[in-house]
Structure 1
Amino acid sequence: MSGGYEVEQFVNTPDDDLICVICRAVLRCPVRLKCNHVFCKECILQWMKRQVKCPCCRQSIDQNQMLILFKLSKSIGRLSIRCRNEQQGCRATFLLSNEYLHISNCPYEWQLCPHEGCGERVLRKDAQAHDQSCSH
């Protein structure tokens, strides 16, 4: 189960307080239980399908008393990350909150050829060259 953001994608190692003890990743949509322990929302909801006790202190969990930590989520969004396309050659770093914007324009993002019957995956930066040589 991985509800959080992979620690390796962050430019600087995130503080331990930002790590979900269930998925061992950086908190995504952090929620606080009445016992004050914090988890990724998706992680704790999955946990509750099997158990109704906090994974840290074993106190009973009441889903109605869960608080979404919007300010913490916003702070996490201000952490710098590396592009997920680093292995393809992208060296960009940006705020986590800007990931979607970057990925939608990243020259190193894989795309499928739009020509019916081709199905080849090409990097966005190579799409025009592929389009000119595609036999489909």
Structure 2
Amino acid sequence: MGIKRTVLIDEPFPDLFCGLCQGEFWEIDFIPVLVPHFVFLLLLLLEILDDPVQVRCPEDHMFCSSCIGNYLQQSRTCPHCLTDLDPSLFQPSKFVQRQIGRLRVRCPYHEAGCTWQGILSDSHPNEDR
């Protein structure tokens, strides 16, 4: 599953979203700002990649490690381009993980008065709620 319960401050690029995640939609609250061109997201249910894995298809698609693992129990083709996949060729993407960790976010409880803002890799007081 992708990273949840985060409210993004910057609008991320679509390449950072997982196309397989199931579950709750994000509450996305974008504040228009310039975003570096190398930020990545995964697109279907708007959950940012968690433990991103590149699957080694012609398009080098990326998915959450757990999402593609669950998907492979049903099919051995890329969910997007339908190319046959070899799980032994999958590679984690540390570069993408670092870019995701740099996304600016606000506390999911900002409407309740929390003013915390930071980067996704930071911890904040409301994490365990």
TM-score normalized by the length of structure 2: 0.71
CA RMSD of superposed structures (Å): 2.1
Instruction: Give the conservation status (yes or no) of the 8 Å contact 1:30–1:73.
Output: yes
Counterparts of 1:33-112 in structure 2, within 5 Å, are 33-35=55-57, 36-98=60-122, 101-103=123-125, 106=126, 110=129
Q: 2:2 corresponds to which letter in structure 1?
A: G
Shift of 1:14: 1.2
Q: Distance in 2 between matches of 1:84 and 1:109?
A: 11
1:13 aligned to 11, 14, 17, which one? 11
Whose radius of gyration is greater, 1 or 2? 1
1:9 Cα deviation (Å)? 1.4
Corresponding letter in the other structure for 2:19: V
Give % identity: 29
Aligned residue number for residue 22 of structure 1: 20
The CA distance in 2 between the partners of 1:40 and 1:109, in whole Å, is: 22
Task: Give the total of aligned pairs.
Answer: 103
Q: With structure 1 as the length reference, what TM-score do the two structures score?
A: 0.67
Letter in 2 for 1:26: I
- State the alpha-carbon separation in 1 of the partners of residues 88 and 128 from structure 2: 40
Secondary structure of the structure 2 residue equivalent to 1:102: coil
The residue type equivalent to 1:55 in the other structure is P
1:119 counterpart residue number = none
Q: Structure 1 unaligned runs (5+)?
A: 111-136
- Asked if structure 1 preserves the Cα contact closer than 8 Å seen for 2:101 and 2:120, the reply is yes
Contact 2:6 2:107 in 1 (8 A): no
Where structure 2 has 5 or more consecutive residues not aligned to the other structure, the ranges are: 22-44
